Amino acid sequence: MDEVEEHERLFERVAGIDIAKSEVKVCVRVPGSRVGYRRQEVRTFPAVTAELLALGDWLRIEQVQLVVMEATGTYWKPVFYALEDDFECWLLNAKQVKHLPGRPKTDREDAIWLAKVAERGMARPSFVPPRPIRHLRDLTRYRRSLTQERTREKQRVQGVLEDAQVKLSSVISDIHGASGRAMLEAMIAGQRNPRELAQLARGSMRGKKDVLIEALRGHFSDHHAFICRMMLDNIDRLSVQIDALTRQIEQAIAPYQPQVEQLDEVTGIGPIAAQDIVAEIGVDMSRFATASHLVSWARFCPQTTQSGGKQPRGGATGKGNPWLGAALGEIASSARRTPTFLGARYRRLARRRGAKRALVATAHSVLIIIWHLLSDPEAHYQDLGPDHYDSRINTDRKTRQLARHLEALTGQKITIEDGKITAIGPDYST
pLDDT digits (tens, 9 = 90+) for 185-195: 999 999 989 99
Are 248 and 145 found together in one domain?
yes
> Which residues, in sequence order, are CB contacts of 244 under 8 Å at separation 6+?
none
Classify residue 385: in a domain, yes or no.
no
3 state DSSP class of 310 = strand
Are 168 and 261 found together in one domain?
no
Among the residue ranges 125-139, 150-164, 325-339, 411-425, the one predicted with the least confidence is 411-425
The per-residue pLDDT for range 384-398, each reduced to its tens digit, is 888 877 766 666 677
Are 249 and 261 found together in one domain?
no
Q: Which of 71, 62, 225, 80 is nearest to 157 (CA)?
A: 225
In this predicted structure, the answer to whether residue 89 has a pLDDT above a threshold of 80 is yes
Are 249 and 260 found together in one domain?
no
3 state DSSP class of 124 = coil
Are 244 and 265 found together in one domain?
no
Q: Which of 273, 286, 169 is nearest to 218 (CA)?
A: 169
Are 68 and 155 found together in one domain?
no
Classify residue 297: in a domain, yes or no.
yes
Are 116 and 161 found together in one domain?
no
Classify residue 105: in a domain, yes or no.
yes
Of residues 96 and 80, the one with the higher pLDDT is: 80
Q: Which of 133, 190, 171 is nearest to 324 (CA)?
A: 133
pLDDT of residue 313: 61
Of residues 316 and 36, the one with the higher pLDDT is: 36
Are 247 and 283 found together in one domain?
no
pLDDT of residue 305: 62
Are 245 and 322 found together in one domain?
no
Tell me the torsion sign for CA atoms 51, 52, 54, 58: positive
429 pLDDT band, cuts 50/70/90, is very low
Classify residue 309: in a domain, yes or no.
no
In this predicted structure, the answer to whether residue 228 has a pLDDT above a threshold of 90 is yes
Three state DSSP letters for the chain? CEEEECCCCCCCCEEEEEECCCEEEEEEEEECCCCCEEEEEEEEEECCHHHHHHHHHHHHHCCCCEEEEECCCCCHHHHHHHHCCCCEEEEECCCCCCCCCCCCCCHHHHHHHHHHHHHCCCCCCCCCCCHHHHHHHHHHHHHHHHHHHHHHHHHHHHHHHHHCCCCHHHCCCCCCCHHHHHHHHHHHHCCCCHHHHHCCCCHHHHHHHHHHHHHCCCCCCHHHHHHHHHHHHHHHHHHHHHHHHHHHHHHHCHHHHHHHHHHHCCCCCCHHHHHHHHHHHCCCHHHCCCHHHHHHHCCCCCCCCCECCECCCCCCCCCCCHHHHHHHHHHHHHHCCCCCHHHHHHHHHHHHHCHHHHHHHHHHHHHHHHHHHHHCCCCCCCCCCCCHHHHHCCHHHHHHHHHHHHHHHHCEEEEEECCEEEEEEEECCC
Of residues 360 and 402, the one with the higher pLDDT is: 360
Looking at residue 318, what DSSP letter applies? -
Tell me the torsion sign for CA atoms 277, 279, 283, 287: negative
Are 276 and 214 found together in one domain?
no
d(CA 373, CA 380): 7
Tell me the HSE value of 192 on the side-chain side, using a 13 A CA sphere.
Answer: 11
Average pLDDT over residues 199-205: 87
In this predicted structure, the answer to whether residue 406 has a pLDDT above a threshold of 50 is yes
Are 287 and 233 found together in one domain?
no
Alpha helices by DSSP H, listed for 26-177, are 49-61, 76-83, 107-119, 131-163
Of residues 134 and 394, the one with the higher pLDDT is: 134
Q: Which amino acid is at 321?
A: N
- Neighbouring-strand partners of residue 25: 18, 44
The rounded radius of gyration (Å) of the Cα atoms in the chain is 30
Of residues 131 and 118, the one with the higher pLDDT is: 131
Classify residue 275: in a domain, yes or no.
yes
Q: Calculate the average pLDDT of the chain.
A: 86
Classify residue 381: in a domain, yes or no.
no
**CA dist list (Å): 425 to 128, 417, 420:** 66, 14, 15
**CA dist list (Å): 161 to 187, 194, 258, 320:** 11, 14, 45, 38
| Residue ranges making up the domain that contains 287 | 256-303+314-375
Among the residue ranges 218-222, 263-267, 301-305, 397-401, the one predicted with the least confidence is 301-305
Of residues 250 and 306, the one with the higher pLDDT is: 250
**Counted domains in the chain:** 4
Classify residue 389: in a domain, yes or no.
no
Are 353 and 413 found together in one domain?
no
